């Protein structure tokens, strides 16, 4: 049995180079990553699984702060040291695509990966974000992805997963906003190549040229809100109280945007349950189990 490490510890590429601890290891990579609740969530689930099956008693989940320029070396080291599974968060979900051996077809169509599974020839990339987001929105906001037009904030890997999941589920129309035009145009182009008949309306946050729907499912897929001093990326006064707002951020539990939308009478939800559902799906991939203890994962994340 391997010695358990603190759920609050954050490791670096330097630590990874010297990694030689026994056991089965799982990890999450991001930058920043110190806010991540994933170690609490996954290790609690693994402890419960270990009570039922001793093979999981030496499984461990930790986090690494890996800047984008260190990602290729980090993934090579993780594979060489046989880390069984890896989660990827901002800013690695798109950049990791060419660095893995194979990509699951659904993740390939999304154009982003957040879950890696160790195989002898290299990591296989999956995307569990779309599943996690859809399940969280349905259970917390009583809204299906095809019930309302979608206004998506952001154009990175998380936004790609959200947009593709919405289109797969038959969302009628999507407005996609971003701060910079280059990445926005790239995302819209990718979507239209996969879904040429879809109704996509790109807009820049500082522009009022594109009218937005009054009633919408608004999804924040940016990192704006991680810091309490962050400001709103755009004017939100156009949205009516019949809209709903889902923020992928879960730390802090109430973001600047959640407060602003809430003041307008709009139902809001943070990304904690998305984290739980996408994490549970990742753990199912790594363990081969049909179901893992979701409730235990949620309680651990909340208590953390």
Torsion sign (Cα): 118, 120, 123, 127: negative
Contact 232, 257 (CB under 8 A): yes
Peptide bond into 265 cis (omega under 30): no
Verify whether residue 93 is a known catalytic residue: yes
Q: Enumerate residues 6+ apart whose C-beta is below 8 A from 160.
A: 93, 94, 110, 111, 112, 187, 190
Alpha helices, H only, the chain: 13-17, 38-52, 71-80, 105-110, 129-141, 157-168, 181-194, 256-263, 272-287, 294-303
Name the helix (H) or strand (E) containing 175: strand 174-178
What is the Cα–Cα distance from 147 to 241, expressed in whole angstroms?
Answer: 15
Token pair for 106 = 């659904």
Catalytic residue among 81, 93, 199, 227: 93
What is the Cα–Cα distance from 254 to 296, expressed in whole angstroms?
Answer: 22
Q: What are the catalytic residues?
A: 93
């Amino acid at each position: 049995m391997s010695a358990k490490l603190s759920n609050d510890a954050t490791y670096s590429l330097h630590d990874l180079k010297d990694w030689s601890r026994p056991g089965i290891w799982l990890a999450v990579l991001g930058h920043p990553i110190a806010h991540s609740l994933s170690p609490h969530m996954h290790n609690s689930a693994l402890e419960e699984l270990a009570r039922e099956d001793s093979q999981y008693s030496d499984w461990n989940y930790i986090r690494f702060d890996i800047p984008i320029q260190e990602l290729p070396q980090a993934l090579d080291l993780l594979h060489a040291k046989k880390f069984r599974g890896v989660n990827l968060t901002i800013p690695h979900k798109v950049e990791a695509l060419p660095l893995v051996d194979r990509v699951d077809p659904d993740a390939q169509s999304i154009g982003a990966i957040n879950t890696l599974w160790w195989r002898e020839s290299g990591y296989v990339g999956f995307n569990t974000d779309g599943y996690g987001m859809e399940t969280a929105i349905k259970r917390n906001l009583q809204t299906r992805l095809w019930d309302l037009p979608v206004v998506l904030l952001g154009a990175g890997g998380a936004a790609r997963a959200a947009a593709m999941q919405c289109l797969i589920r038959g969302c009628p129309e999507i407005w996609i906003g971003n701060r910079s035009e280059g990445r926005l145009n790239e995302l819209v182009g990718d979507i239209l190549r996969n879904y040429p008949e879809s109704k996509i309306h790109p807009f820049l946050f500082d522009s009022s040229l594109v009218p937005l729907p009054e009633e919408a499912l608004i999804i924040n897929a940016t990192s704006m809100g991680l810091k309490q001093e962050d400001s709103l990326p755009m004017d939100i006064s156009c949205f009516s109280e019949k809209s709903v707002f889902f923020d992928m951020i879960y730390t802090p539990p109430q973001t600047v945007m959640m407060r602003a939308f809430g003041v307008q009478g709009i139902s809001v939800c943070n990304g904690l349950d998305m984290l739980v559902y996408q994490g549970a799906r990742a753990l199912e991939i790594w363990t081969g189990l049909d179901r893992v203890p979701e409730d235990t994962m949620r309680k651990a994340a909340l208590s953390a």
